[in-house]
Amino acid sequence: MLKANSVSQWAVVKQLIRRDLRVASRQRSDLLNPLIFLLIVVSLFPLGVGPGPDILGRIAPGVIWVSALLSSMLGLERLFRDDFRDGALEQMLLLPVPVEISVFAKILVHWLLTAVPVLLITPLLALLLNLPLQAWGVLWLTLLLGTPVLSAAGAIGVALTVSLNKGGALLSLLLLPLLIPLLIFATAAVEAAVAGISPAGPLALIGAFMVISLTLAPFAVKAGLRVSVN
């Protein structure tokens, strides 16, 4: 092969992250909507099931996690949708770095933009639903470990459906069943903490989900994108 001015992979990843953050900073409503949705859904529960603190405290882990799952579905499509429309996705596949690395950068940015705000308002959600104080930390940990799984698994779903016109509904049908184990172990961890038992087991499992999905998803996303751009 000919010699060329080589670009370090890190430099390319840095540029991708910078561009995506910049684009996101100019369409803030896209980022705010899922967060407001989450807040509204969670605050509807006390109105729907009654403000009894016992019931609320008991259903809090499930409600918060289910709402977080649903709200993450709302913003998921923007992971690749805009890039697909304007052609930036095609150019991403043509970058002189392995596609998996660019995909990992996209997943990372998506996590920063969608999950970090959720992590910030988690105490508010726990307060709204009267979650016992000793479980707040564990709830936060399950979200910290679980949200990267949402972004990574979501990226696979979006990569497969991005070229379809009505991909949004299909995406939820495709992904939500896959995320059931995550939901089960996350709520189990929080319930264990509420009951005063060690949540280490389910937490470790969520951690394993995170590691597996972050390492394997980029390969699946690459395959999905190659199909979708043609």
**Residue 85 in the binding site for other proteins (CB under 8 A):** yes
**Residue 70 in the binding site for other proteins (CB under 8 A):** no
Kindly list the distances between the CA atom of residue 75 and the CA atoms of 150, 190, 220, in Å, as whole numbers in the listed order: 11, 25, 20
- The residue within the footprint of other proteins, chosen from 51, 52, 98, 137 (CB under 8 A), is 98
**Residue 184 in the binding site for other proteins (CB under 8 A):** no
Kindly list the distances between the CA atom of residue 117 and the CA atoms of 82, 111, 147, 167, 229, in Å, as whole numbers in the listed order: 22, 10, 11, 25, 31
Smallest distance, other proteins to C-beta of residue 5, A: 4
**Residue 29 in the binding site for other proteins (CB under 8 A):** no
**Residue 28 in the binding site for other proteins (CB under 8 A):** no
**Residue 97 in the binding site for other proteins (CB under 8 A):** yes
Tokens 């949708």 appear where?
A: 81
Which of 179, 41, 15, 59 shows the shortest CA–CA distance to 121? 41
**Residue 90 in the binding site for other proteins (CB under 8 A):** yes
- The residue within the footprint of other proteins, chosen from 29, 47, 54, 230 (CB under 8 A), is 230
Residue with Cβ nearer other proteins (22 or 166): 22
**Residue 166 in the binding site for other proteins (CB under 8 A):** no
Give me the helix-helix angle, 53-76 and 99-128, nearest 10°.
150
The residue type of 199 is P
